[in-house]
Amino acid sequence: MADDKVPGALDKGTENAALSGALAAEHAAVWGYGVVGAALGEAARQPAEDAEAAHRTVRDQVSELLAGRKADVVDSKGAYALPFPVLSAVDAAALGVVLEDGVAKAWVRVLDQSVERSTRELAVGVLSAPEVRAVGWRVAAGKSPVTAPFPGLPD
């Protein structure tokens, strides 16, 4: 049977691949927040713990969604390479920004690649929280500007 798929067309395959990317980003965020939390003092650790919990929830949701579709469910890696040494509270906040920006990119890609309305609803619902958290981390990291007009999109 001839393959009549138009190159570049959106379909369930592109959608599931993007969701797999989002799942991988959520795994990375869950792992990364362990590093963020460890680098923060106990009094300042709560935002990292809250963020980790939020990413675990989304990770489990996406994992369940992909499993239900009999699609690839990517596992967490045993370890991830940090983009820079995390030796202080400022480093930890900067890593928080990297984690949230990475998750935002993944979910914007889901919006770009999806064919199901329900998947876009999921993506839009998930996408705001990373940017809200990123604003807090940018403030803590001393970055400017602290808000982003296009989270997840190229500059």
Provide the binding-site residues for other proteins, judged by CB under 8 A: 6, 8-10, 21-22, 24-25, 27-28, 31-32, 77-83, 95, 98-99, 101-109, 111-112, 114-115, 117, 120-121, 123-124, 127-128, 130-132, 134-136, 145-154
Nearer to other proteins, 41 or 149 (CB): 149
CA dist list (Å): 70 to 12, 13, 14, 42: 12, 12, 14, 41
Give the nearer residue to other proteins in terms of CB position, either 70 or 144. Answer: 144
Report how far apart, in Å, the C-alpha atoms of 69 and of each of 46, 59, 63, 65 are: 35, 15, 10, 6
| Closest approach of other proteins to the CB of residue 149, in Å | 4
Minimum gap (Å) between residue 85 Cβ and other proteins: 13
What SS3 state is found at 70?
coil
Q: Which is nearer to other proteins, 42 or 144 (CB)?
A: 144
Is the Cβ of residue 42 or residue 102 nearer to other proteins in the bound state? 102
Per-residue buried b or exposed e for 112-129, using 16+ beta carbons within 10 Å of the residue's own CB: ebbeeeebeebbeebbeb
